[in-house]
Amino acid sequence: MQPTRLGPPESERPAARTADGVVHDLNSPAAGTDGTFLAADGTDRAGAGVGSVEPPCADAADLRVGSPIARPAGVVRTGPDRAARAAGSGADTPEKPAVFSGRPGALAGPDGGAAIPADGERTGRGAELAVAVGRRTGRPASPGAAPAHVTGHAAADAPCERDRQPEHSGGQRPTGTCAPGFDPLGSWLVPAGEAPEPQTPRPRSRISGGSRQDSAAADMIFPVARLVRRLGQCAPPEPGDVIGIPGKAAVPGRFPRPVPSDVEREGEGLGRQRQVVIAGAKEPVA
């Protein structure tokens, strides 16, 4: 069972897709795919009822798809985690993973629109892997113990407006990664037991039909298990939190001017996203 949320922004209702591709309303036992639901093994419990108790969602094809995770307490980003991406940005290959905060308000559904910041001249985006936490990570004793804290995987985005980072904020990454709609997630949360092995998916992206990214799993500097363990050591994520792991081409994959541009992203076994990116409205820069 793969949870998602359908409907208008702020009014989404939980739903789930079964192995046969049928979408069902998810009214019980969950009020929504939030941290409480995930910490209580809600994906497995709801899966037992989907198809036998929960009715098919007759209007699923007509509804907007929202982020599959509702109201995460935190979004944590890592990067760069690809050797090619580090080289492309002029950085040395790091010895330890970089960790910085995202913003839950930047999460969005997998399809729709997003605006480049009006003052942005070096906005880049690319496909990435996201994992959702089901158990508080604490301090996993080893990387081998870390996957037990991950409840699901999803396709995601790796946004970056580089002019808002070192030039305007003293090097603080969140100022360039947290604009509204910058962080599309989904369409589905693929349970860890159904998802490909974390190092397997090849994040791919296209802008206006042209290929911009095709990452290889072998290019990852830090395996997902090591990243989860590292977070447990310094800033333990809570159930429902989202951890984003960028692909290699988020920095060079800039949007062509002029916009709008069609942006498509996909990860093997995790689904596909499509956004129309437009120029943001002019506003004073603080």
**284 within a domain of the structure (yes/no):** no
Q: Does residue 204 belong to any structural domain of this protein?
A: yes
pLDDT at 242: 92
Q: How many structural domains does the chain have?
A: 2
pLDDT at 119: 67
- Amino acid making up residue 67: S
**Do 124 and 59 lie in a common domain?**
no
pLDDT of residue 56: 85
Asked if residue 285 belongs to a domain, the reply is no
Name the residue range of residue 256's domain: 70-279
- Residue type for 203, please? P
Q: Are residues 113 and 76 in the same domain?
A: yes
- Domain-terminating residue out of 65, 87, 112: 65
Residue 29 confidence (pLDDT): 45
Instruction: For residues 9 and 83, state if they share a domain.
Output: no
Instruction: Answer with the one of 17, 46, 65 that is the final residue of a domain.
Output: 65
Q: Are residues 166 and 270 in the same domain?
A: yes
Q: Is residue 61 located within the same domain as residue 74?
A: no
Whether residue 37 lies inside any domain: the answer is: yes
**Residue 101 placed within a domain:** yes
Q: Is residue 286 part of a domain?
A: no
CATH number of 186's domain: 3.90.850.10
- Is 252 part of a structural domain of the chain? yes
Q: Given this model, what pLDDT does residue 257 score? A: 52
Q: Are 26 and 56 in contact (CB under 8 A)?
A: no
240 domain residue, yes or no = yes
Predicted pLDDT at 63: 92
| Cα 261 → chain centroid | 20
Q: Is the dihedral of CA 229, 234, 238, 240 positive or negative?
A: negative
The answer to whether residues 118 and 225 belong to one domain is yes
Residues 122 and 41 grouped into a single domain: no
Written as tens digits, the pLDDT of the chain (286 aa) is 888 899 998 888 888 888 888 898 876 544 467 888 888 777 776 666 565 556 788 888 899 999 998 888 888 888 765 555 555 555 567 777 778 788 888 888 888 777 777 666 677 767 788 899 988 877 766 777 888 888 889 988 776 776 666 555 555 666 767 777 778 898 889 888 887 776 666 777 777 777 777 766 556 778 888 888 888 888 888 899 998 887 654 444 455 555 557 778 777 778 888 887 776 655 544 4
pLDDT at 89: 55
Q: Are residues 170 and 254 in the same domain?
A: yes
**148 and 213, same domain (yes or no):** yes
- Identify whether residues 57 and 135 lie together within a single domain: no
Give whole-number Cα distances, 216 to 3, 136, 168, 243, 247, in Å. Answer: 27, 29, 33, 19, 9
Where do we find the tokens 């990852």? 220
Sign of CA dihedral 261, 262, 268, 270: positive
Asked whether residue 235 falls in the same domain as residue 266, the answer is yes
Q: Which of residues 15, 34, 65 is at a domain's end?
A: 65
The answer to whether residues 86 and 46 belong to one domain is no
pLDDT of residue 46: 63
